[in-house]
Amino acid sequence: MDRASLEAYFVSLGEKPFRATQILQWIHQRGVANFDEMTNISKELRTRLAETTEIRCPEVVLEQASDDGTRKWLLRVDSGNCIEAVFIPEPGRGTLCVSSQVGCALDCSFCSTAQQGFNRNLSVAEIIGQVWVANRALGKTRLDPMGADRIITNVVMMGMGEPLLNFDNVVQAMNLMTEDFAYGLSKRRVTLSTAGVVPALDRLRDVSDVSLAVSLHAPNDALRNELVPINKKYPIQELLASCKRYLEGKPHRRITFEYVMLNGVNDSPQLARELVRLLADVPSKINLIPFNPFPNTRYTRSSDAAIDVFRDILVKAGFTTITRRTRGDDIDAACGQLAGKVLDRSKRKLHRIPISVVAQQQ
């Protein structure tokens, strides 16, 4: 429950609305999951809350630590389904990558999550629960009111799933991330990543002001249709028009475009120049992401030399361009590698023929 929901709930109990901020601080800032520990709330109210509500986080099935300091949690959200969340430490910042769905329905061809199929949307509790679990596991059980000495400084909705296909729950969870009495993150430090669900992106502009990242991966519709199938429904020009609308009234903001580098597929100098022309009138930052392999994929990572040439063309054209450093690949926590455990209601996995079988048939 966010602050508005909690305030309404406490008023319905005959309590003052300020009880909501107390509860938010106990749960999200102090990491408390037991009403008996909430010492500034009357014993009578604590008993009533224990009888009528619950504080329950996702179950940690497995926690892994990478050699580079990245940490990954496998979290059980119901019987048979698990999701993954990843913390990436860097000098001066710590980024938590959060999932929004069990699996993903979009079937992007280069993403391990997509190969697992799709089961369901995560609830608000299951989304914000990932932040709560990571905060506790990282040893930060109390947040400074001014945000000082944070361990988690940024949250990115870039884990399993397409956030805009779980719109209401994702927005409410992000509201808790930016709530002063919960996690208190700046809206610029919460990023939603989308493959381009245009109607939902237009709707997002009306209810949220978080940072936006777009999984582009190709500068033309023919190639993007192959890599990101939702492009067939919402082609690039329609997507970019929505991106521009999202930035209206935000003169100092930019869209981050994510571009996974696939050897011999989308990494040629010609395509880099095409990308320059495509984004010429869109305030942009471009993240080049070396492809992270997973079992049975048909793709390989672009060479460092090819990535450098691609990047240099973008930089020379005036784009802020960063080659993302691969983190956590030794524990399958790198971008595109999150898989979790998905009871595939979409039956997608049943329709796939393993690459090895195709090779034998050929």
Q: List Cα–Cα distances, 173 to 74, 113, 169, 214, 311, in angstroms.
A: 19, 21, 6, 20, 35
Q: Mean pLDDT, to the nearest integer, of 230-234?
A: 97
pLDDT at 40: 95
pLDDT of res. 141: 47
Q: List the chain domain ranges.
A: 3-52, 59-361
Question: Is 84 among the catalytic positions?
Answer: yes
Residue 204, classified by CB atoms within 10 Å of its CB into exposed (0-12), middle (13-18) or buried (19+), is buried
Give the lowest-confidence range in 113-117, 205-209, 347-351. Answer: 347-351
Catalytic residue among 84, 126, 162, 179: 84
Find all residues with CB under 8 Å of 237, minimum gap 6, and list them.
none
The angle that helices 269-278 and 304-316 make with each other, rounded to 10 degrees, is 30
Residue 159 CA to chain centroid, in angstroms?
4
Q: How confident is the model at residue 294 (pLDDT cuts 50, 70, 90)?
A: confident
Interval 317-326 mean pLDDT: 92
Residue 287 is encoded by which pair of tokens?
Answer: 């993240």
pLDDT value, residue 299: 94
pLDDT over 90 (residue 37)? yes
So what CATH class is 59-361? Answer: alpha beta
pLDDT tens digits for range 114-138: 778 888 999 999 999 999 999 999 9
**Buried b or exposed e, range 166-178, using 16+ CB within 10 angstroms:** bbebbbbbbbbbb
Catalytic residue among 108, 111, 243, 335: 335
Q: What is the pLDDT of residue 356?
A: 34
Rounded Cα distance between 230 and 243, Å, is 16
pLDDT digits (tens, 9 = 90+) for 136-174: 999 864 444 444 557 999 999 999 999 999 999 999 999
Fold of 3-52: DNA polymerase; domain 1 (1.10.150)
For residue 256, the surrounding DSSP H or E stretch is strand 255-261
